[in-house]
Amino acid sequence: MQESEFSADHLDVLKELMNIAMGNATASIADLLQAFGTMHIPYISVSDMNGLKSFIEETIPSNQHYYVTKQLFGGMFGGEFIFVMTDKSAANLGNYLYDITTPEEEDILDAVIELTNILSATIISRLTEELNIKVQFFVPSTEVMSGNALIGVEETLNYHKIIIVSTQMVFQSQNVSGYIFILTKGEMIERLRTLIDQKLEELYA
């Protein structure tokens, strides 16, 4: 799959669908936090391993610690949903959700997983609903790591050609924010292109 095979129209469609999906997710998290979240314009790129590495280096400061939650999804379209949150932001989330000044590590982890579950389910479900397909979710896993370690994680970088879909979730008043990545590769990129082509055909019909 060459980058040129994904046209500007394909990327625009993906960006707009992601925008819609992110809007739904932000509203769900806003309900959970009883707060207002700021939406950001999604970044979409077709890249290779080095491109992903550079993007993560530019986006995620390496000198901080992060709660990184990963969830695979599969079906007619599949990939990996990754939510990255600084330890400070995660602590603020635990503090806010459990109303505890100094939340225990277990509480923070629980809060991060709950938030990620809502985010991944809402974003991926909405995204795939717009593409008229259904996907299955696998059990997520969360670990705490440094920014440097995130770049070095083998399975994250084990992609030959990937689509990076990235955006931010920001709840400023609660000091809670995070980075969202959706990575997909190989045959799934081809399937995604076909699904977007169908969407474009409907539009131009």
Which residues contact another protein by CB under 8 A? Answer: 9, 12-13, 15-16, 19-24, 26-27, 30, 36-37, 39-41, 130, 200, 203-204
Q: Rounded to whole angstroms, how far apart are CA atoms 123 and 117?
A: 10
CB of 61 to another protein, least distance (A): 24
Which one, 34 or 63, has the nearer CB to another protein? Answer: 34
Contact 134, 80 (CB under 8 A): no
C-beta closer to another protein: residue 13 or 182: 13
Residues sharing a CB contact under 8 Å with residue 104, sequence separation 6 or more, in sequence order: none
In the complex, the smallest distance separating the C-beta of residue 56 from another protein, rounded to whole angstroms, is 23
Task: State in angstroms the smallest separation of the CB of 22 from another protein.
Answer: 7
In the complex with another protein, the residue whose CB is nearer, 26 or 95, is 26
Q: Enter the tokens of residue 98.
A: 């459990």
Nearer to another protein, 30 or 100 (CB): 30
Smallest distance, another protein to C-beta of residue 164, A: 18
- Whole-number minimum distance, CB 73 to another protein, in Å? 21
Q: Which is nearer to another protein, 70 or 193 (CB)?
A: 193
Rounded Cα distance, 188 and 99, in Å: 42
Nearer of residues 139 and 204 to another protein, judged by Cβ: 204
Least distance between another protein and beta carbon 31 (Å): 9
